[in-house]
Structure 1
Amino acid sequence: MRAGAYVLARVAVTVRAAARWLWWLGIVAAGAGVFVPSLLGRRIGVLAGAVLFILASVLAFAVHRKRYAKLADAATRAPKSVFLQDRRVTARTWARSRRWWLLAAFVVAIASSAAAPATLGLLLAGLGFGLWAKALWLGRVERSLDQLLWVRPGHDPAAYETTGPVAGDAGPGGSRRRAAAAAR
């Protein structure tokens, strides 16, 4: 690496990676939890889980939105010496650094089905859905700024850096860049 060079990861890709893992672990835990005999019964567990899904979705979407917007407004232009991390590498790094927390949340969600089936699984899925909505919102912010937001991975995200709208392999919002858009 050159002197003064460092790596940047997309903000929206990290949010989307968290959303994907929480969504799928929650859906699997909720699906498995429905078939476990429980104290409260399937109907109460699923209804409580649906309420928690909605609350968790709204909460995950709303938390830190003002901070994200403030950091986006104060973002500085990334120097040419930075290395832009690939979308897959960012998602894999996020998952590896949190694998034990994800495993623990999954096990607790399945184990809680003995009391109320699918409740904590739907809570996890709701968190994932809210984070996915936040990634879409970040995509709208990036489109309005006509810049992509980046952060140094492994550091406190106290400052964002920006690049042009075609840098990297992920489009606004952290989704996979379409082949037609990348060819332009």
Structure 2
Amino acid sequence: MGRGGQSLARVAVVVRAGAVPLWWLGVLATGIGVLPPGLTGRRIGVWAGAALFVVCAAVVALVRRRRYSAWADGATRAGKFDFLQDRAVTLRNWRRAHRWWLLAGFLVAVGSSFALPAAGGPALAGAGVGLWLKSAWLGRRERRDEALLWVRTDWAGSGQPVGKRVKGYRTTGLGAGDAVPGGARRRR
């Protein structure tokens, strides 16, 4: 990384990194959460879980969209010596940094099943779906603008591509990196 180059991670990949673990932990917590009858009964718990799934997915998908749009509108072109981080490395770094939060969320979802059966798991799964929807929204924006969005890895170190440390995005053409617009793996 000579000559002032920076390490850059794809914004959509950082957003999408939590979708799969949250989804599967939510599905697992829902399966476990159906077993105890709980204080309210299974039927009320399942209906509450369905409502929480929809609400969490919508909230996570819509929160901070203006901020993403503002950073994308002011993005500058990536430099010649910038290093583009692989999708697998970005996913691994995000999941390592958040493994204890994922475990805590799973335990809370399973623990809440003793009061409201199968309600915590769908909330966790809904958060995963919301992240996936947000990355799909970013992918549509990247296709429209014909530019992939990147953020410096030291700014998004905590896994927040619109956090307080972020000072701007960089762009490349659609062919850069190993992920398609939206953060999915590029098929070769």
Cα deviation 1:90-146 (Å, max 9, x = unaligned): 001001011111111111111111111111111011111111011101000000110
Partner residue in 2 for 1:95: 95
Partner residue in 2 for 1:160: 169
Q: 1:24 to 1:158 in 2, by over 3 A?
A: farther
Which letter maps to 2:85?
A: Q
Partner residue in 1 for 2:67: 67
* Alpha-carbon distance between aligned partners in 2 of 1:117 and 1:61, rounded to the nearest angstrom: 25
Task: Kindly report which structure 2 residues correspond to 1:23-38, keeping only aligned pairs within 5 A, or say none.
Answer: 23-38=23-38
Structure with a larger share of its residues in helix? 1
* Alpha-carbon distance between aligned partners in 1 of 2:21 and 2:73, rounded to the nearest angstrom: 29
TM-score w.r.t. length of structure 1: 0.94
CA offset at residue 157 of structure 1?
2.6
Which letter maps to 2:91?
A: A
Moved over 3 A (4+): none
Which letter maps to 1:56?
A: C
* Alpha-carbon distance between aligned partners in 2 of 1:173 and 1:154, rounded to the nearest angstrom: 21
Partner residue in 1 for 2:22: 22
Q: Say whether 1:172 aligns with 2:185.
A: no
* Alpha-carbon distance between aligned partners in 2 of 1:160 and 1:27, rounded to the nearest angstrom: 34
Cα deviation 1:33-86 (Å, max 9, x = unaligned): 111231111111110011111111110111011111111111000101111110
Q: Say whether 1:44 aligns with 2:44.
A: yes
TM-score w.r.t. length of structure 2: 0.92
Percent identical pairs in the alignment equals 58
* Alpha-carbon distance between aligned partners in 2 of 1:14 and 1:63, rounded to the nearest angstrom: 15
* Alpha-carbon distance between aligned partners in 1 of 2:54 and 2:15, rounded to the nearest angstrom: 19
Secondary structure at the residue paired with 1:149?
Answer: strand
* Alpha-carbon distance between aligned partners in 2 of 1:3 and 1:34, rounded to the nearest angstrom: 57
Which letter maps to 1:67?
A: R
* Alpha-carbon distance between aligned partners in 1 of 2:102 and 2:149, rounded to the nearest angstrom: 26
Cα deviation 1:139-184 (Å, max 9, x = unaligned): 00000110100001241233110011100000000001122xxxxx
* Alpha-carbon distance between aligned partners in 1 of 2:15 and 2:31, rounded to the nearest angstrom: 24
CA offset at residue 30 of structure 1?
0.9
Partner residue in 2 for 1:150: 150
